[in-house]
Amino acid sequence: MKYNRTQTGWLVIAIFGFILIRMITSYVLLMQEGKGPSDPLLFFIPFFGFCFLNFYQLTIAVDEKKIYVIYGIGLIRIKISPDRVNYVKSTETPWYAGFGIRFLYRGMLYNIQGRKAVEVGYQKGGKNKVVFLGTADQEALKRCIETTFTGPAVYE
């Protein structure tokens, strides 16, 4: 791999960690009082645990053929295989775009923290597409994509 960086989503860890601790504590207290397990808790503890494991970190990797976006333990993997990269530029996402996997007005956003991103315009199957890759290391990711995916391209 030419580029491989992992970001930790501290906000996701704090929120989901707090929720999980509260739910597990509630479950234990209900069991100690002899009230038995609560059905909603038996559903939501694994659900929030699953969400936590899938969104606590983001890894972006670039090799000679693809750009990989890997969330958490790797169950959510996005592979971007551009036929041709048209442009690459450093950008900032709007504050209201949020975190995670989002549809923006111009393309897909993959991020976990902060507003810095690299915007990549590319062609796949004859269609123009845009993807925003959230990263704390904009320039390194931008340079890697520029040098990896050759062809007639405009780099800003």
pLDDT in tens, 4-32: 999 999 988 999 999 999 999 988 888 88
What is the reported pTM? 0.83
Q: Are 113 and 5 in contact (CB under 8 A)?
A: no
pLDDT at position 37 is 67
Q: Is residue 14 part of a domain?
A: no
Whether 40 maps to a domain, the answer reads no
Domain residues for the domain of 135 are 82-155
Q: What is the model's pLDDT at position 4?
A: 93
Q: Is residue 29 part of a domain?
A: no
CA distance 150 to 156: 15
pLDDT tens per residue across span 109-127:
999 988 899 999 988 888 8
- Over pLDDT 90: what percentage of the chain? 47
User: Tokens in use for 136?
Assistant: 């704390």
pLDDT in tens, 76-119: 998 888 878 889 999 998 888 888 889 888 899 999 988 899 99
- Separation of alpha carbons 62 and 17, rounded Å: 30
The domain tally of the chain equals 1
